[in-house]
Each structure stands twice: as structure tokens, then as C-alpha cells.
């Protein structure tokens, strides 16, 4: 099965955009000094024997800059939710008060901020590697099509230039996202 030049370019652009989206999600999970509900996105609660995402068993919201509130839909699950948050690798200590679970976020130390910043850069680097891999794959598809005489050398060159433009654009996006996240992390 051969791909047309347009489908190769479209595929490259789509896959690079997905890499940037994945990075946005990954960066959203890195803690900054402020409380945001996305912080508890990966917490799984033992809900009647099933590991269920926290946002499906409770409403998570930011009460203020340093506190998240978790309101269980089923009040009998409050203890299980509290336990799941405590056992997550986020280092949080939830407290139950009435039907609401409060999750105070401790202030980040300078050392921890640098660590999180380094983690954000590593996530950015992973995204760049993924984007470059997409470029390599696309260029390989183009070379294969050229070898099989399905496209001309001019088509190949133009398509490679287009793929390089996509690559530059999305790597720029990654740099912007990482820089913004680092600024958020280092903000006291």
C-alpha cells in the first residue's frame, strides 16, 4: 500500500499535534505552587472493588490557591477516596470535614521546584523526540515512494520541506509550553 504525498504530510502533522497534546496533558499533571483539579486526575479509587478514576466518583475543585476540595457523589466512599489520595505518589494529606474532603497543598521548597522544573524539561524533550521520530518516519515513506517512482524528486523535496516546517512549528510549541510550565513552577 502506497501513500500519497498529501496523506504522508497530513499524517505527520496529525501525529506531531498529538505529541504536543500529550505533552500538555503530562505538564498539567506536574504540580505548580497553585492548586488545580488536574493534579488528582491520575488518582484511582477502590470503588466497590474496581479501580475507578477519582473524577468519576467525586467532584474535584480548587477552593483556593493552596487547597483542593473533593466532594464524593456517594458519601459512604469518603474514606476510600481519602485513602486513595493519601496513597498516591503526590505526597498529599487529605482531611475529611463533613461530606467534603479538603486536600491542602504544602508549599513547594526551592529544591522541589527545581526538581519539578527538570521533570518538565524532560517531558518536553520526550515530546521533541516523538516529533522528530514522526519526521523521520514521514521522510522514510517519501523516500520509499520516490524509489518506487510513485513521486518525482521535486515532490519529494517539497514534501520534506513541508514536514520540516511542521517539525519546526511543533518543536516551537513544545518549547513554549515547557517555558510556561517552568515559569509557573518557579513562581513563589
pLDDT in tens, the chain (188 residues): 456 889 999 999 999 999 999 999 888 777 776 777 878 888 888 888 888 888 888 998 888 888 889 999 988 888 888 888 888 877 788 888 878 899 888 877 888 888 889 999 999 999 999 999 999 999 999 999 999 988 899 989 999 999 999 999 999 999 999 999 998 888 76
CA distance 38 to 177: 16
User: Domain 37-104 belongs to what architecture?
Assistant: 2-Layer Sandwich (3.30)
Q: Is 105 left (phi over 0), alpha (psi -120 to 50) or beta?
A: beta
Residue keyed to cell 499533571: 29
pLDDT for 75 equals 85
* Ranges of each domain in the chain: 5-29+109-186, 37-104
SS3 category, 152? coil
**Do residues 99 and 90 touch, judged by C-beta distance below 8 A?**
no
Rounded Cα distance between 180 and 168, Å, is 18
CATH of domain 5-29+109-186: 1.10.132.20
Nearest to 52 by CA among 26, 74, 24, 21: 74
The CA distance from 17 to 183, in Å, is 23
Sign of CA dihedral 28, 34, 37, 41: positive
Q: At which residue does the C-alpha cell 512549528 appear?
A: 169
Helices (H), 67-152: 78-87, 110-147
What pLDDT, on the 0 to 100 scale, is given for residue 97? 82
- Give me the sign of the Cα torsion angle 161, 164, 166, 168: negative
Pairing of β 58-64 and β 50-53? unpaired
Question: Is residue 31 within 8 Å of 186, Cβ to Cβ?
Answer: no
pLDDT at 188: 64
Cell of 177: 509550553
pLDDT confidence of residue 106:
80
Radius of gyration of the chain (CA): 22
**Contact call for residues 124 and 23 (beta carbons, < 8 A):** yes
Asked if residue 100 lies in contact with residue 69, where contact means CB atoms within 8 angstroms, the answer is yes
Amino acid at each position: 500500500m502506497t501513500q500519497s504525498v498529501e496523506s504522508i504530510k497530513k499524517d505527520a502533522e496529525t501525529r506531531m499535534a498529538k505529541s504536543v497534546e500529550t505533552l500538555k496533558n503530562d505538564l498539567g499533571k506536574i504540580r505548580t505552587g497553585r492548586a488545580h483539579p488536574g493534579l488528582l486526575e491520575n488518582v484511582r479509587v477502590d470503588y466497590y472493588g474496581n479501580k475507578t478514576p477519582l473524577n468519576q466518583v467525586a467532584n474535584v475543585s480548587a477552593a483556593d490557591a493552596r487547597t483542593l476540595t473533593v466532594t464524593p457523589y456517594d458519601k459512604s466512599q469518603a474514606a476510600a477516596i481519602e485513602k486513595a489520595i493519601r496513597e498516591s505518589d503526590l505526597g498529599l494529606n487529605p482531611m475529611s470535614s463533613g461530606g467534603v474532603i479538603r486536600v491542602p497543598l504544602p508549599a513547594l521548597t526551592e529544591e522541589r521546584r527545581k526538581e519539578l522544573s527538570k521533570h518538565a524539561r524532560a517531558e518536553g524533550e520526550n515530546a521533541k523526540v516523538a516529533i522528530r521520530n514522526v519526521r523521520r518516519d514521514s521522510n522514510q515513506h517519501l523516500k520509499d515512494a520516490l524509489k518506487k517512482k510513485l513521486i518525482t524528486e521535486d515532490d519529494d523535496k517539497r514534501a520534506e520541506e513541508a514536514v520540516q516546517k511542521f517539525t519546526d512549528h511543533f518543536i516551537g510549541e513544545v518549547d513554549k509550553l515547557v517555558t510556561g510550565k517552568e515559569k509557573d513552577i518557579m513562581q513563589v
